[in-house]
Chains A and B, each alone.
Chain A
């Protein structure tokens, strides 16, 4: 090495050293990053976290290779609100296990999570997440074999129970069995497909999960008639969207997209008849649909008539429910608590005013 190159090397190293120390700490995590909404618009794709293995909520249709289900449709609703329509290209469904889901939101791998996720106090406060409005009111149930001769949770002393690891269901079943002083064995799996297989093949006496999930898993089983759900509901599970806390605008986009589907059902607006309502003489409907002078969508940074786009793409809440999980679907769930508040249920949108 000649003298010149040695001097050059030393100079470079010295500058690198100075640069390393004068580098502002945490320079990768900038404060002035644009909001999530702008980020999604620039990207042109909404990354939406879903289950992917749960019929009725989010499962890949093997014939068409399309993600189908209630949660998947809410992903499409958000995409329609942002981009004007939901296409195959502007929604990227990211399949997540129960364990991966929160990390995926925290790291920004997904923009929003529609994955049968229960809103709880500790998740809201500790995980750095915010929860949107509940899209499905659920409760944890227990499924047993029809020939087991079991009618209630109190008959389950000594039972083996299969569950999904990293979920609230594990905590609830532990509490339910401990408080009754029952002996039990918990077998935790990472994939819901593994839990149902273990149950079908006789590894466990009981499969526990949210009742809607149990219905979905049963609908896919080889012999659905051989399984019965107990009447016991051991928890309340409000399932809804989750997203990273700290971006109020993005939260508004997700929340009011969900509310839009509920409000549309209340107004009787469906994907079929939405165009008729555009010239309605009801002011509150016009305001809801962003028609005329009303500034609806622009208040959250979206098109003024984003509600129209959402309803045209996926329909109102009732349509989504009927199509994916309702009485005519494979799951055959009744509306129950998920009926509109006007019908005695819990689905309620704040006023669009």
Chain B
């Protein structure tokens, strides 16, 4: 035969594969088909929802967000005007309350979680067993139950009438409704104090850097805090004296039904925040323990051999390495905490979810409000994820 048979492996120019059998064309075609199917499916669902709602005289209408809210929001933003403020402003007030809980919760849960996680590995048997019992109890019971338990428990333990409030030093009053504490506000001259503190901070950081250089050069212990703290304190004191008493303190006074003056944290806020901290810290503790245990024991032995104390070993050798392993799962717990804050509705806390529910109930626009709520919580979660990813990026092992 004059013409050789085309090889199966090297497509010959003489016998091109028809395009409907070309694997590349088929792949692209299938992907297009898939995308179209997905889009069509969601179009169908959404179109069905919209048509169905219109048929029930409930067209989706985001205009209701500008209507007045009508109910007092007694949590957080005190200048909320129930008659005039719109639903959108109510949602914003709710979001602020959510953020107040989440931000304090994240910090508290992290600190408690690290303490308990380290405690779980302590050589002291008492610390170790207390940490284990705490983790097992809080990790293995539902958060909602814990919230009820804490909230109702606080009510049963604390004094009922405001007159019998537990008085703590510094005009702090504890009762079933709230913690009332003095409100500290800056006077007209408070800016002098801020400038002085800023100067002190700058000087302190300069001293810090200088001490580290000295340590690198001479090997003397840096003792950075011995230099940093006095420099801030001294300038702060000077600023305080210059401004002539820059802070104005309002102490709470019992008047009629309630305390007036000062600031307060409601029982609902406290119960929700404490509940979220205790619950999330139990998970974080286990993550911290796993991270620490993942650091090779040889590292610890090496540190000891160098003469580092136990605390120094933990701070300088173990934790920095453990942190890399801890951060990704830690981000998940942060997300859980942020989303779990919506359970506040069970104990009467005015958060985003609670307020969105009230609006949905007053206007009948459930779909609109649930869509808004999803957008709000999604944004919050994405911001937390973004921050955690950035931290993860900067903490990653740099290979040289």
Contact = CB atoms under 8 A, between A and B. Distances in A.
B3 to A, nearest CB: 25
A326 interface: no
Contact of B37 (A3, A20, A158, A246): A20
A4 interface: no
A159 interface: yes
Most interface-central of A3, A16, A184, A201 (chain B CB within 10 A) = A201
Nearest to A98: B361
A106 B366 CA distance: 10
B82 A178 contact: yes
A165 B345 contact: yes
Interface in B115-155: 152, 155
A174 interface: yes
B293 interface: no
Given A158-B256, A201-B176, A102 B52 contact: no
Interface residues of B, number: 54
Interface string B41-84: 10010011001100111100000000000111110000000110
B48 A28 contact: yes
Contacts of A39: none
Nearest to B159: A202
A171 B71 contact: yes
B366 A103 contact: yes
Contact of B258 (A158, A171, A203): A158
Contacts of B256: 157-158
Main secondary structure of the interface of A (DSSP, over half): mixed
Contact of B267 (A123, A203, A245): A203
Contacts of A245: 56-57
A252 interface: no
A266 to B, nearest CB: 35
Interface in A115-169: 122-123, 126-128, 156-160, 162, 165-167
B155 A29 contact: no
Nearest to A170: B71
Given A157-B256, A159-B258, A171-B71, A244 B350 contact: no
Interface stretch (A186-194, A301-309, A335-343): A186-194
A23 B44 contact: yes
Contact of A170 (B29, B176, B358, B360): B358
B89 to A, nearest CB: 15
B160 A202 contact: yes
A21 B36 CA distance: 10
Interface string A1-28: 0010010001001101100110101111
Interface in B17-32: 21, 26, 29-30
Contacts of B83: 175, 178
B286 interface: no
Contacts of A177: 72
A329 interface: no
B348 A171 contact: no
Interface string B178-222: 000000000000000000000000000000000000000000000
B48 A17 contact: no
B395 interface: no
B143 to A, nearest CB: 16
B290 interface: no
A13 B30 contact: yes
A300 to B, nearest CB: 22
A244 B56 contact: yes
B289 interface: no
Contact of A29 (B48, B70, B360): B48
Contacts of B160: 201-202
A186 B268 CA distance: 12
Contacts of B361: 98-99, 102, 165-167
Contacts of A123: 364
Interface in A28-43: 28-29
Most interface-central of A29, A185, A203, A245 (chain B CB within 10 A) = A203
A20 B41 contact: yes
A231 interface: no
A199 to B, nearest CB: 11
Interface string A232-251: 00000000000011100000
A197 interface: yes
B311 to A, nearest CB: 44
B136 to A, nearest CB: 29
Nearest to B71: A170
A60 to B, nearest CB: 20
B255 interface: yes
B271 to A, nearest CB: 11
Contacts of B30: 13
Given A26-B47, A29-B51, A174-B72, A122 B257 contact: no
Contacts of A186: 71-74
A205 interface: yes
A198 interface: yes
B362 A128 contact: no
B354 interface: yes
B372 to A, nearest CB: 16
Contacts of A328: none
A146 to B, nearest CB: 14
A246 B56 contact: yes
B396 to A, nearest CB: 41
B364 A190 contact: no
Given A13-B33, A17-B33, A165 B354 contact: yes
B346 interface: yes
Given A157-B256, A159-B257, A186-B74, A106 B348 contact: no
Contacts of B397: none
Contacts of A194: 346-348
A26 B346 CA distance: 36
A267 to B, nearest CB: 37
A183 interface: yes
A187 B37 contact: no
B340 interface: no
A11 to B, nearest CB: 12
Contacts of A102: 361, 364
Contacts of A158: 255-258, 260
Given A28-B52, A170-B70, 8 more contacts: A17-B37, A26-B47, A122-B362, A159-B257, A167-B361, A202-B155, A245-B57, A246-B57
16 contacts: A13-B33, A16-B37, A20-B40, A26-B51, A29-B48, A103-B360, A157-B257, A165-B348, A165-B361, A170-B70, A174-B71, A185-B258, A187-B266, A187-B268, A203-B176, A245-B57
Interface of A: 3, 6, 10, 13-14, 16-17, 20-21, 23, 25-29, 98-99, 102-103, 106, 122-123, 126-128, 156-160, 162, 165-167, 170-171, 174-175, 177-178, 183-190, 194, 197-198, 201-205, 244-246
